[in-house]
Amino acid sequence: MPSSSYPKGLATRQRLVESMLDLVQLHGYHGTGLNTVLARSGAPKGSLYFHFPEGKTGLGVAAVALAGDHFGELIGKATATATSPAAVVDALIAELKNILEASDYQAGCPVSSVALDAGSENEPLREACSRVYDGWIHAVSGYLSTFGVEEGGAHSLATSIICLVEGSLILSRAHKSTQPMDAAAGTLKTLLAASLAGAGA
């Protein structure tokens, strides 16, 4: 939901979170300064500490959660409209490729950026990233279970899917090419076909 849809106080908070998310996606957590966030959001400095008494850490946690919601929405939309697991893969990869290409390969996954940048030294941020990844894995696992994949296998496969997608995003940014994402999509389809065949789907 855009920040303009919120009541005034919450709209200011949402602008701060959205600005933090956009900047982290481009520059990483450590490369994003609070003054830059304030300038981008147009919010007064006092409002930042009103909404986020923990400062940058609290704002980062909220930005990671928002990133989780965004990708969760992509998963939900793909699983609701695609006609097969392979089509879900195609839809997700196509959307992520569009984001990368539109940003000239500048916009990576903000969750992985925060996890790599600050997760080892900032426990609240590490926990925020962990929660988001768990949410994505749970969503994918739940979708796989509808095809008869047993719970343990669905969780393992969902974890592998998230790993492949995240890794391919990093390689695609490094190479300025969507080829790693295309390769990941092919591998994902092979994994899914084998798992669903084993489940009798």
> Dihedral of the CA atoms 12, 16, 18, 24 (nearest 10)?
180
Tens of pLDDT, residues 83-92: 888 998 998 9
pTM value is 0.88
Q: Measuring CA to CA, which residue among 50, 49, 74, 62 is closest to residue 19?
A: 62
Q: Measuring CA to CA, which residue among 171, 178, 137 is closest to residue 154?
A: 137
Tens of pLDDT, residues 88-147: 899 899 999 999 999 999 888 899 989 988 878 899 999 999 999 999 999 999 988 988
Q: Is the pLDDT of residue 59 over 60?
A: yes
Comparison of pLDDT for 4 and 30, the residue scoring more: 30
**Residue 175 Cα distances to 23, 42, 94, 104, 179, angstroms:** 21, 34, 17, 11, 9
């925060």: which residue's tokens? 114
Ordered domains of the chain (ranges, CATH): 3-198 (1.10.357.10)
Q: Where residue 149 falls among pLDDT bands split at 50, 70, 90?
A: confident
CA distance 181 to 187: 10
Q: What pLDDT does 4 receive?
A: 54
Structural tokens at position 64:
């990671």
21 phi and psi angles, rounded to 5 deg: -60, -45
CA distance 166 to 124: 21
CA distance 152 to 46: 48
Buried b (16+ CB within 10 A) or exposed e, 135-169: bbbebbbebbbeeebeeebbbebbbbbbebbbebb
